Amino acid sequence: MTTRFVIIGGGPAGNIAATYAARLGADVTMIERDVVGGAAHLWDCIPSKSMIATGRAISRTQAIGGMGLETVDIDVDVDGLRSRIEAIKNKMSSNTTGLLESQGVRIVRGTGRFLGPNTVEADGVDGIELFEFDAALVCTGSRPRIPDWCQPDGERILTTRDCYPPHVFPESVTIVGSGVTGVEFVHMFSSFGAKVTLVVSRQQVLPGKDPEVAAVLEEEFMRRGVKLLMGARAVSTERTADGEGVIVRCDDGRSVESTHAVLAIGSAPNTENLGLERAGVDVDSGGYVAINQHCVTNVSNIYAAGDISGKLPLSSVASMQGRKVAEHVMGLHTRSHRHLDYDKAASAIFTEPEIADVGLEEADAFSSGRKIRVTKVPFATTAKSMINNDTQGFVKIISDPATGVVLGGSIVGRQAAELISVIAVAVTAGLTVTDVAESILVHPALSEALSDAAE
């Protein structure tokens, strides 16, 4: 009998699960209330990285002096930028829709919710429709977290979602939150010429990251004239009396005024009004759905994946969870299936320089007393970095001193997000530093720093 698989949410977790399960022979229905591709296409990965790429083009153009060219004045065309983002978003969403339909996935436009442990209702433009399922996946994503001390107004006090598509570029902006999203927004707005202040609640941007990596970014921010308010926790945001600005006040008495403020303090899961209680699915006090290593919830035929699972909030992780869910639903986990290991997920921060890492971090190895070998090679040693007129950054590889097995690594510098793939494959496949060092890579290329770090 064909497995009836119903998915609520069409972000990366939902659409990858749908594609794989359909390929494996399931009868798949995906319910999506907004855009196929999810928040990842609509608000997060695609628009933010498109704007960052434009910002990067500005800063690279400003730096062409060192390449034997003359600098030029650059005008930002906000309408052009908006159309570019819309075009990429629409193309990505139509590609995803086309792929799903070609696999025979039925896409239902509407809001999904559970009516019981085997029934989902979709409330859409064509009215209410009921679906019986053998297995269901809930992957409804997350939204920006809004604390009680702040009321975003969509005009001057903004969440990250209010920044897309761009309508105006702030003259000055205060970013609250110095995690991945916060620092990417600092980089983006400063590239577009805004005067930026970053409120950093600890003594380091990117709390929890390798301090050596964070220090490179702090230095770059200072070079760009970004004001860092270290050790300050924002406690209120209010519009100025003339309504033209925003004052962000901090717990240590400091305050900063700018034309706009952006909140980047994390996300909250979309698990309300889904009827999870009717299906018997538990959520924790933060609203996240607990899952086991196969993404199964406390109800054996209901899975959860993506941001609502409270694991790493990354599109890449959501997609891989979706794939593993499809394999489990179709019984493949008993054969060729490899468990998902969140500790081996690569991630990147799209600032300038780019930052990427994977696997074991140096600080974690030291705190657990694990013996490691750390090798670090600056990009400045490669011919390609000089050709690129950008010698900033380094490659760091962490390996087991006894076996040479690659355990992790970090890369700071141009194309770090691409280059980390080599270390990620080595970590996932259990390759040794010799495997990496003996791979014949391209010359001249930044990857030569990788081979040297593996020596």
Ligand X SMILES: Cc1cc2nc3c(=O)[nH]c(=O)nc-3n(C[C@H](O)[C@H](O)[C@H](O)COP(=O)(O)OP(=O)(O)OC[C@H]3O[C@@H](n4cnc5c(N)ncnc54)[C@H](O)[C@@H]3O)c2cc1C
Q: Nearer to ligand X by C-beta: 130 or 402?
A: 130
Choose between 139 and 412: whose C-beta lies nearer to ligand X. Answer: 139
Q: Give the angle 395-401-402 at the CA atoms, nearest 5°.
A: 145
Dihedral-angle region of residue 25 (phi above 0 means left; psi in -120 to 50 means alpha; beta otherwise): left
Structure tokens at 247: 């004052």
Find the shortest distance in angstroms from Cβ 49 to ligand X.
5
Position 39 contacts ligand X (CB under 6 A): yes
Q: Is 416 in the site for ligand X (CB under 6 A)?
A: no
Residue 40 in the binding site for ligand X (CB under 6 A): yes
315 binds ligand X (CB under 6 A): yes
Contact status: 9 vs ligand X (CB under 6 A): yes
Q: Which is nearer to ligand X, 358 or 454 (CB)?
A: 358
Task: Tell me if 8 contacts ligand X by CB under 6 A.
Answer: yes
Among 54, 140, 190, 197, binds ligand X (CB under 6 A): 140
Task: Indicate whether 352 belongs to the interface with ligand X (CB under 6 A).
Answer: no
Nearest to 375 by CA among 423, 444, 439, 419: 423
Which segments of 332-415 does DSSP mark as H helices, in order?
362-368, 383-387
* 302 binds ligand X per the rule CB under 6 A: no
- From the list 162, 218, 307, 354, which residue makes contact with ligand X (rule: CB under 6 A)? 307
CB burial of residue 316 (10 Å; 0-12, 13-18, 19+)? middle
CB of 183 to ligand X, least distance (A): 11
Q: How big is the site for ligand X, counted in residues (CB under 6 A)?
A: 37
Among 6, 18, 26, 31, binds ligand X (CB under 6 A): 31
Sign of the torsion formed by the C-alpha atoms of 37, 38, 43 and 49:
negative
Residue 193: closest CA among 74, 82, 83 = 74
Cα separation, 228 vs 202, in Å, equals 11
The kind and range of the H/E element at 4 are strand 4-8
Cα–Cα dist 217/417, whole Å: 15
Q: Considering all CA atoms of the chain, what is the largest pairwise distance in Å, rounded to the nearest integer? A: 69
Q: How far is the CB of 386 from ligand X (least distance, A)?
A: 29
Q: Does 306 bind ligand X (CB under 6 A)?
A: yes
Among 4, 33, 145, 239, binds ligand X (CB under 6 A): 33
Tell me, residue by residue from 112 to 131, as one string, x for binding to ligand X by CB under 6 A and - for no binding.
xx------------------
Residue 270 binds to ligand X (criterion: CB under 6 A): yes
Select from 318, 360, 397, 406 the one that contacts ligand X (CB under 6 A).
Answer: 318
Contact present, 319 and 309 (Cβ < 8 Å): no
Structure tokens at 17: 């699960």
Residue 387 CA to residue 408 CA, distance in Å, equals 28
Report d(CA 359, CA 410) in Å as an integer: 9
Stretch that binds ligand X, among 170-178, 311-319, 327-335, 418-426 (CB under 6 A): 311-319
Nearer to ligand X, 40 or 453 (CB): 40
CA distance 170 to 179: 21
Conformational region of residue 86, where left means phi above 0, alpha means psi within -120 to 50, and beta covers everything else: alpha
Q: Tell me the closest approach of the beta carbon of residue 290 to ligand X, in angstroms.
A: 15
Task: Answer yes or no: are the C-beta atoms of 245 and 237 closer than 8 Å.
Answer: no
Q: Does 313 bind ligand X (CB under 6 A)?
A: yes
Site string for ligand X, 158-187 (x = CB under 6 A): --x--------------------x------
Give the footprint of ligand X on this chain (CB under 6 A).
8-14, 31-35, 38-40, 44-45, 48-49, 111-113, 139-142, 160, 181, 270, 274, 306-307, 313-316, 318
